[in-house]
Amino acid sequence: MKIRTKSKFAPEVSTGSMNDIMFFLFLFFLIVSTVANPNVIRLTLPKASAAQSLNKQQITLSVDAEKKYYINKTEVPFEQLETELQKTVTGIESPTIILRPDQSLSIQDLVDVWAISLKLNIKMVLAVSKS
């Protein structure tokens, strides 16, 4: 009588490295998603023989800690700020001013400048530094 041991073949899939692969895929997609900008629409623009270049003139309004106002590095008293801004933006279509305030200024100081820009129908962009 022959004694046979049962040796059945059981196929197995090795999943030991599956965790590593999933981690690297997750890391890859996380990095790619921060680099990619989903709000960008890629277009191939038509070509023209003559192109028009628009030169936007940058106007900066700086306010230092002592509440001194500078339009393009020229000091202007606050009482004359509205008239000087109006002189500066005359002839410019849709003027935009870059506001560069000192960090120690109060919100009211910024609101006063924004009120002048609203009265003159001027867009203002607040300049900040990287932290």
User: Could you tell me the residue ranges of all domains in the chain?
Assistant: 76-131
pLDDT band for position 44 (cuts 50, 70, 90): very low
For the whole prediction, is pTM greater than 0.85?
no
pLDDT at residue 38, as a whole number: 59
Tell me how many helices (H) and strands (E) the chain has.
3, 5
Between vectors from CA 64 to CA 60 and to CA 70, what angle results, nearest 5°?
Answer: 35
**With 0-12 CB in 10 A as exposed, 13-18 as middle and 19+ as buried, what is 64?**
middle
Beta carbons of 63 and 105 less than 8 angstroms apart: yes
Average pLDDT over residues 20-42: 77
pLDDT at residue 23, as a whole number: 92
Residue 91 has pLDDT above 60, yes or no: yes
Residue 109 has pLDDT above 60, yes or no: yes
